[in-house]
A and B are shown apart, each in its own frame.
Chain A
């Protein structure tokens, strides 16, 4: 079966700086792929280049088996839903209207029905009529996650979906994305919390300086050697009854 999304040998620049230097990625339906790496490793660039939002100098990106550049906007939206890292919203629309923007393919009343259901799923159905600029950052993040879920796309790409969220909201976010994967979607998330990545992702790609430093199951991808060389941490993943956690301290410079 064709992978939902593949990116091979990606090279890309932002301005003059090379931000992707041969990075690759592939994800299939039913799995949650975590993309981790230090600040500036190229995580966001990898997602943007793979979605056709950023030109590739070398390499190829395919969505549903087809080159990204050949897809028209409607075809691309049918294949992938994208939650950017940037959560700034321009206008103070009611939350339910913002979530409904995730389903422009539906009639307005259908889209609003989907939106209400997704708001309930992320646990903020009481905020449906509240203006999104009158919300806290965490509430707005949930609304935007609901907007992503409203796309009903077979590939969901979320850039830092848990940044700035409290622990409960972080776990809820990953649980909801895992549920989408269990229902057949392919899910890609970038994360900074390596423990959360290890416990929530089926596979992990570790990026460093625009290249893939390691890849595989959490234990394999985040081995002590990778933690030391990529993240400059002396640490290890530890299984606990409540799930995997990361125990680590900084390596001396």
Chain B
């Protein structure tokens, strides 16, 4: 399949998944109610479709696309198929920011948790951008990201440890598990700003990611402004990952798996991997959120739980198939 046809197929899949996700939900509608919803958006069934389900689906698509794009960009920059958006430590610090805001009682203010999470992501992002400007070796970024993740994880645990209220702990835990429940269009607009900037930076870095196929030194001699492109890739991925966590909590595996789903179709090309990965991420997360809503459980399943539950085995299968092709 050509990369262009792949993008078309994924775009159609996204539209189909979104239509199904808007159409189906916990409260089943009759044919007459669907008619009413389409004819009159202000009616009760119309409210369900357009004010409750649609923003939720759009948010899932947006976050999935952000994670897919950030994952593809990180894999290209670090020249490592195991890289994912959280590898820089940005997701962990965003989670820490949100935890602090919840434990500090800021959850009552609309947008405060999101802002705190984004601030956490930007703080870590600033550090890794500084490192990326200084060091060319991907190992430096990976090792520092591991350290940053561990430290932010420890501080998040400390928030639990010192929190006087079990309610706050439960709230933080629920938030960290990831969800796009009860989102409205204001939430989407809030996420759209940093995500657009992040996506622009990642796409700008594409030609640098391709050149890195040859290794650091050949890329540096290629005539491309590699230092600038490297910083753009890191800053863009950090913004996307941070804004994703801020909008929907910590959602694993989408950023790692989406690029792998489309990698073969673009012949491993890190420049052509970005857009299909974003589309694949969006499809995955819309589908995962639909599953979270439709699987009948006492408590609604959290999105991060669903992506990990389904993502991990699928990813293991992909790894198994890849390993077999390496061996031959």
Segment touching B, from A88-96, A170-178, A195-203, A209-217: A88-96
Q: How far is the CA of A98 from the CA of B214 in the complex (A)?
A: 8
| Structural contact, A77 and B223, CB atoms closer than 8 A | yes
Chain B 190-231 near chain A by CB (<8 Å), digits 1 or 0: 000000000000000001001111110110111111100000
Please tell me if A166 contacts chain B, counting CB pairs below 8 Å. no
| Cα–Cα, bound, A48→B270 (Å) | 27
Q: Is B35 an interface residue (CB 8 A)?
A: no
A97 touches B269 (CB 8 A): yes
The bracket for how many chain A residues form the interface is: 20 to 34
Given A74-B223, A90-B79, A84–B217 Cβ distance below 8 Å?
Answer: yes
Tell me if B211 and A101 are in contact (CB < 8 A): yes
Taking a contact as CB atoms closer than 8 A, the residue among A48, A51, A93 that contacts B267 in the complex is A93
- Tell me whether A82 and B268 are in contact (CB under 8 A): no
Write out the residue numbers on chain A whose beta carbons fall within 8 Å of the beta carbon of B221.
51, 53, 76-77, 80-82
Residue A243, interface by CB 8 Å: no
Which of chain A's residues has its CB closest to B214's CB? Answer: A101
Give chain B residues whose Cβ lies under 8 Å from the Cβ of A73. Answer: 220, 222-226
**Interchain CB contact under 8 A, A101 and B222:** yes
Verify A91–B223 contact, CB threshold 8 A. Answer: no
Given A77-B223, A78-B223, A104-B207, the answer on whether A91 and B270 have CB atoms closer than 8 Å is yes
Residues on B with C-beta less than 8 A from A98 are: 213-214
Q: How far is the CA of A174 from the CA of B94 in the complex (A)?
A: 55
Number of A-B contacts (CB under 8 A): 72
- Count residues of chain B with CB under 8 A from any CB of chain A: 21
Indicate if A105 sits at the interface (CB-CB under 8 A).
yes
By the criterion CB–CB under 8 Å, are B226 and A84 in contact? Answer: no
Q: How far is the CB of B151 from chain A (nearest CB, A)?
A: 28
**Distance between A4 CB and nearest chain B CB, rounded to angstroms:** 15
Q: Does A86 belong to the interface (CB within 8 Å)?
A: yes
Nearest CB of B to A91, in Å: 4
Chain B residues contacting A101 (CB-CB under 8 Å) are 210-211, 213-214, 222
Contact between B223 and A104, CB atoms less than 8 A apart: yes
Q: List 25 A-B contacts (CB under 8 A).
A: A48-B217, A73-B224, A73-B226, A76-B223, A77-B222, A80-B221, A83-B218, A84-B215, A84-B217, A84-B218, A89-B215, A91-B79, A91-B213, A92-B268, A93-B267, A93-B268, A94-B267, A97-B269, A98-B213, A101-B222, A104-B207, A104-B211, A104-B222, A104-B224, A131-B267
Nearest 9 A-B pairs (CB), nearest first? A77-B223, A90-B79, A91-B268, A92-B268, A82-B221, A84-B217, A90-B213, A74-B223, A91-B213
- Can you add 20 more A-B contacts, CB < 8 Å, to A53-B221, A90-B270? A48-B217, A73-B222, A73-B223, A73-B226, A74-B223, A77-B221, A77-B223, A84-B218, A86-B215, A86-B217, A90-B79, A91-B79, A91-B213, A91-B270, A92-B268, A93-B267, A93-B269, A104-B211, A131-B267, A144-B214
Binding site for B on A (CB under 8 A): 48, 51, 53, 73-74, 76-78, 80-84, 86, 88-94, 97-98, 101-102, 104-105, 131, 144, 147
